[in-house]
């Protein structure tokens, strides 16, 4: 049979800049807008810029403190020119660095050569040996990753996560008094309020944010096996631990005094576990909201011009929450792999962490995308108060708990004829619907004391919510 497949353009031959949809991953294609803020912190270009920053600051740190004999302080103009290597890092500089790496086949060595090329113009060619002095590549990389991750967390991910939690808190406060039927094991249960249930999620997420906010970003600069061997061999008079500590802390990081060739990455594993836990709590929220939408507790506000289904025009699908679920699962899986992989290194060094860490931006990107989608989804929700109230009215049997507990209390107080309260309510309510009239008839025939009977006759599913509305006040505590 003849092959009737049409001849197709080789899409891989088209420059990516001319067609963003050619991106292999959705974060750099379809979802670029949502993940773009992370590019300034966790992209390859950002990593190289941070490497330049670390190398330049190490050079300045050594000269300012006259650590290496003959390399005294620079003048202000020279320091400014060195730092301009970082602040002026643009697409052309990134391309030049990439060309150098093609020759070196080593990313950090390319950074060293990139800086060395610029020293003659600063009248610093004599100090070219001071670039990357005493450093192994991991000295530069661990600090660069720490700076990039810190920026991504504090400047991008945390602000987005806080906005989302704030939106859930607003929903909790606005609906604090909206009585709602609970469902334990999927079955009608003791009523709550919609606001209290939203507050539970906001409270859980806020706890994780506090853990993430307290992250300690560690770094080291102590040589090929963490012993300062080359440092003391070359300049034995220097206090290299103090030099290293003051440098790392000067970058805004916490100094790790005990490492192998690599900084152990334990802080990264801790951070990724916390973000993954945040993701999973948010995933639970998405599935709950999706379910509430499906039973009519929330109405979705249609977007003008949008299509819910290609064939069923009536549909408004909860796509924001479904999209978020998928992206939270992808992010959490990647974060789990990073957290488990990065804490392990064979003897003093292996290279598994190098490949793993290149996916940090992907893990953060899918989480950030999910956060964005949930926030957009919440902005298109209306509380369907009438549907929620109708569901309560159809489930008077949920008052069985309250009535049998009152019977217990009355029996303890000495009221006669209130034996086996649980069994009597079970006979009335188990597996069957009970309406208001039948429940009140049952209460009237129990022989409760006058005050207790009036209290139970006045109770309805919508008023049987305990202090649910007041519990919302615990938000922020």
d(CA 151, CA 155): 5
> Can you tell me the distance from the alpha carbon of 72 to that of 59, in angstroms, rounded to the nearest whole number?
11
End-to-end Cα, the chain, rounded Å: 73
Q: CATH assignment of 38-136, given 3.20.20.70, 3.30.1490.20, 1.20.120.80, 1.10.275.10?
A: 1.10.275.10
- Residue 416 pLDDT greater than 60, yes or no: no
For residue 423, what pLDDT is reported? 79
Question: pLDDT tens-digit profile of 13-35?
Answer: 777 665 557 778 899 888 999 99
Contact 286, 324 (CB under 8 A): yes
Condensed to tens digits (0 to 9), the pLDDT of residues 279-328 reads 999 999 999 999 999 999 999 987 655 555 445 445 468 899 999 999 99
Q: By the 8 A CB rule, do 95 and 46 touch?
A: no
Cβ neighbours for 223, distance < 8 A, ≥ 6 positions apart? 134, 135, 136, 139, 229, 230, 231, 261
Least confident residue range of 258-272, 311-325, 365-379, 391-405: 311-325
Percent of the chain with pLDDT over 90: 78
pLDDT at 200: 98
> 328-353 pLDDT, tens per residue?
999 999 999 999 999 999 999 888 88
CA dist 178 and 295 (Å) reads 16
| Cβ-Cβ contacts under 8 Å for 152 (sequence gap 6 or more) | 38, 41, 42, 361, 364
Q: What pLDDT is attached to residue 428?
A: 75
Query: What pLDDT score was predicted for residue 312?
Result: 42
Instruction: Report the percent of the chain where pLDDT is more than 70.
Output: 93
Residues identified as active-site: 185, 309
Q: Residue 369 has what pLDDT?
A: 98
Between 18-32, 117-131, 164-178, 332-346, the lowest mean confidence (pLDDT) is in 18-32
Domain 138-305+314-384 in CATH 3.40.50.300? The answer is: no
Average pLDDT for the chain = 92
Stretch among 92-96, 252-256, 317-321 having the lowest mean pLDDT? 317-321
- Rounded CA-CA distance 459/431 in Å is 21
Beta strands at 298-300 and 218-219: parallel, antiparallel or unpaired: unpaired
**How large is the average pLDDT for residues 268-278?**
98
State yes or no: pLDDT of 123 exceeds 70.
yes
Strand partners, 173: none
Which tokens belong to 53? 């920053």
Burial 116-126 (b: 16+ CB within 10 A, else e): bebbeebebee
- Tell me the mean pLDDT in the region 82-100: 96
Q: Name which of 176, 213, 448, 181 is nearest 291 in CA terms.
A: 181
State the Cα angle at 100 between 86 and 103, rounded to 5°: 155
The answer to whether 147 and 50 have CB atoms below 8 angstroms apart is yes
CATH class belonging to 395-471: mainly alpha
* Joined tokens for residue 293: 């939408």
The token pair at 297 is 């507790």
| Domain edges within the chain | 38-136, 138-305+314-384, 395-471
The reported pLDDT for the residue numbered 19 is 59
Cα separation, 38 vs 157, in Å, equals: 8
305-316 burial, b at 16+ Cβ within 10 Å, e below that, comes to eeeeeeeeeeeb
The per-residue pLDDT for 51 is 98
CB 231 within 8 Å of CB 238: yes
Residue 224 has pLDDT above 80, yes or no: yes
- Token readout for 66 is 């006259």
Structure tokens at 348: 């003093």
Show the beta-strand stretches assigned E in 278-384. 298-300, 381-383
User: What does the alpha-carbon distance between residue 257 and residue 271 come to, in Å, rounded to a whole number?
Assistant: 20
Helix, strand, or coil (residue 193): strand
133: left (phi over 0), alpha (psi -120 to 50) or beta: beta
Q: Is the pLDDT of residue 277 over 70?
A: yes
Overall average pLDDT of the 29-43 stretch? 93
Residue 188 in 3-state DSSP? strand
Task: Tell me the pLDDT band of 67, cut-offs 50, 70 and 90.
Answer: very high
Residue 432 pLDDT level (bands cut at 50, 70, 90): confident
pLDDT of residue 13: 74
Residue 73, pLDDT > 80, answer yes
Average confidence (pLDDT) over 254-277: 97
Alpha helices in 342-359 (DSSP H): 352-357
pTM of the full structure = 0.92
Q: Are the C-beta atoms of residues 250 and 57 closer than 8 Å to each other?
A: yes
Q: Say whether 138-305+314-384 and 38-136 share the same fold.
A: no
């Amino acid at each position: 049979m003849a092959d009737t497949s049409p001849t197709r353009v080789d899409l891989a031959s088209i420059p990516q800049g001319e067609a963003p949809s050619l991106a292999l991953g959705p974060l750099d294609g379809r979802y670029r807008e949502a993940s773009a803020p992370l590019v300034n912190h966790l992209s390859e270009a950002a990593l190289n810029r941070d490497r330049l920053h670390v190398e330049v600051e190490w050079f300045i740190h050594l000269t300012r403190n006259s650590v290496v004999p003959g390399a005294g302080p620079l003048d202000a103009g020279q320091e400014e020119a060195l730092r301009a290597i970082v602040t002026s890092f643009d697409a052309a500089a990134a391309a030049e660095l990439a060309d150098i790496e093609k020759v070196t086949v080593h990313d950090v060595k390319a950074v060293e050569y990139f800086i060395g090329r610029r020293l003659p113009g600063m009248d610093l060619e004599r100090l070219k040996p001071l670039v990357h002095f005493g450093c192994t590549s991991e000295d530069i990389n661990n600090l660069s990753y720490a700076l990039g991750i810190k920026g991504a967390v504090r400047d991008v991910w945390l602000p987005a996560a806080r906005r989302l939690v704030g939106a859930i808190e607003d929903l909790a406060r606005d609906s604090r008094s909206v009585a709602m039927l609970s469902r334990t094991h999927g079955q009608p249960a003791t009523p709550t309020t919609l606001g209290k249930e939203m507050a539970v999620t906001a409270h859980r997420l806020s706890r994780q944010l506090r853990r993430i906010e307290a992250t300690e970003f560690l770094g080291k600069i102590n040589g090929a096996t963490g012993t300062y061997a080359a440092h003391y061999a070359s300049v034995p008079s220097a206090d290299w631990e103090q030099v290293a500590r003051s440098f790392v802390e000067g970058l805004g990081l916490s100094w790790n005094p005990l490492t192998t060739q690599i900084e152990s990455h334990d802080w990264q594993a801790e951070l990724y576990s916390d973000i993954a836990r945040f993701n999973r709590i948010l995933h639970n929220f998405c599935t709950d909201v999706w379910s509430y939408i499906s039973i009519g507790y929330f109405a979705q506000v249609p977007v003008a011009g949008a299509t819910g289904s290609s064939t069923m025009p009536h549909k408004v699908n909860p796509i924001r929450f479904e999209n978020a679920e998928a992206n939270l699962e992808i992010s959490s899986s990647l974060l789990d792999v990073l957290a488990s992989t990065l804490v392990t290194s064979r003897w003093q060094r292996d290279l598994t962490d190098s490949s793993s860490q290149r996916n940090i931006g992907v893990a953060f990107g899918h989480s950030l995308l999910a956060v964005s989608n949930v926030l957009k989804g919440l902005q298109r929700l209306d509380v369907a108060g009438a549907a929620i109230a109708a569901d309560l009215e159809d489930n008077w049997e949920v008052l069985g708990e309250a009535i049998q507990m009152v019977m217990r209390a009355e029996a303890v107080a000495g009221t006669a004829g209130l034996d086996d309260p649980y069994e009597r309510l079970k006979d009335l309510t188990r597996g069957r619907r009970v309406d208001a009239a039948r429940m009140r008839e049952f209460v009237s025939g129990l022989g409760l004391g006058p005050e207790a009977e009036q209290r139970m006759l006045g109770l309805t599913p919508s008023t049987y919510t305990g202090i649910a509305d007041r519990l919302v006040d615990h938000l922020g505590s």
